[in-house]
Amino acid sequence: MKYRNLNNTDLSISAIALGTWAFGSDRWWGYQDDNWSYEVLDAGFEKGITLIDTAPVYGRGHSEEIIGRFLKKRGLREKVILATKLGLSWEERRIYHNLKPKRMLEEIDASRKRLNTDYFDLYQVHWPDPDTPIAETASVMNNFYKKGIIKTVGVSNYRVEQMREFMNYCPLHSSQPPYNMFNREIEKDIVPFCKENNIAILAYIPLNSGILTGKFFFEGVKIPNDLCRKNHSDLKEPFFSINKHILEGLKRIAEQYDKSLTQLVLNWTANRDGITSILAGARNRAQLQDNAASLDWEIRPVDLEKIEELLSSRDEMVRLVKK
């Protein structure tokens, strides 16, 4: 495992982190047995993963509860970089935003209780709330930070202009945007901005919700009926056929190194310019072990060029389809 500092701090985090929405066992990712989640956490520590990322919205707090129980039982709280979020909640069958100061205070107390901890190594605003000024949100986060309840401050799904405004009222240590081979929008402005301002980038969905593993294209795995994948455009025509063609090319490159497609994808993503860590989820021990073994090798420059050619050709095919 490789380790990198969370920019502007002394926190050393694993270049591959554990994303834990699936632990919530909710409608977004579908059913997950708690015992599988405990096995994933065990395997993560065995493989040197130190950053665990969760949120209250993941299973209405269930993901946090699973992690809290595990850390308490194993006595591992001080050995993990624990990151959670606030600002999103389930209301019956939908997710809603709420970053009102009163709600923020309620959320941090509830998360600390579920996670069995007095503090968070990283506390993140999950999404900006259109009904709450960023200045208000940032001021509350700064109060948490000054009190020592949180060691570092992060935002997720923030645009550059939103991060810039946030920084007027509170230090900003990390940004968590979506990023993967098929979604590289952050390279245009977020990556340059974060590099310039020494903000760590923790990229989520590096496997594009499992699509970049190739399992839906080559392994006969049925597309699940969860909210995340059942209507995903990359799993429907005409994009399904385009993606299969590109993944075939990527798979051939991975095979030259005797690596899985997943490992090629995670290696490429974790080593992109400006990326500090990638948040990869895992359903079971085998998936976690496959993910964790992604960084103990290097992709040759000639193959990096081939990957870029494949991804550029996909961009062009998608553009023509959408035209």
Confirm whether 58 is a catalytic residue: yes
Mean per-residue pLDDT for 9-23?
93
Any domain includes 142: yes
Cα–Cα dist 174/70, whole Å: 26
pLDDT tens sequence across 50-106: 999 999 999 999 999 999 999 999 999 999 999 999 999 888 778 899 999 999 999
Any domain includes 159: yes
Burial per residue of 138-153, b for 16 or more beta-carbon CB atoms within 10 angstroms, e otherwise = bebbbebbeeeebbbb
pTM: 0.95
Any domain includes 154: yes
- Among 284, 238, 286, 242, smallest CA distance to 263 is for 286
CA angle 209, 211, 214 (to 5 degrees): 145
**Domain extent at residue 76:** 3-209+261-298
**Beta strand 51-53 with 81-86: parallel, antiparallel or unpaired?**
parallel
Range in 108-112, 187-191, 195-199, 222-226 with the lowest mean pLDDT: 222-226
Which CATH number does the domain housing residue 172 bear? 3.20.20.100
Mean per-residue pLDDT for 241-263?
97
Which residues, at least 6 apart from 242, have a Cβ–Cβ distance to it below 8 Å? Answer: 314, 317, 318, 321
- In the set 58, 158, 179, 204, the catalytic residue is 58
Mean per-residue pLDDT for 169-193?
97
Contact 204, 155 (CB under 8 A): no
Any domain includes 18: yes
Number of structural domains (the chain) is 1
Contact 162, 87 (CB under 8 A): no
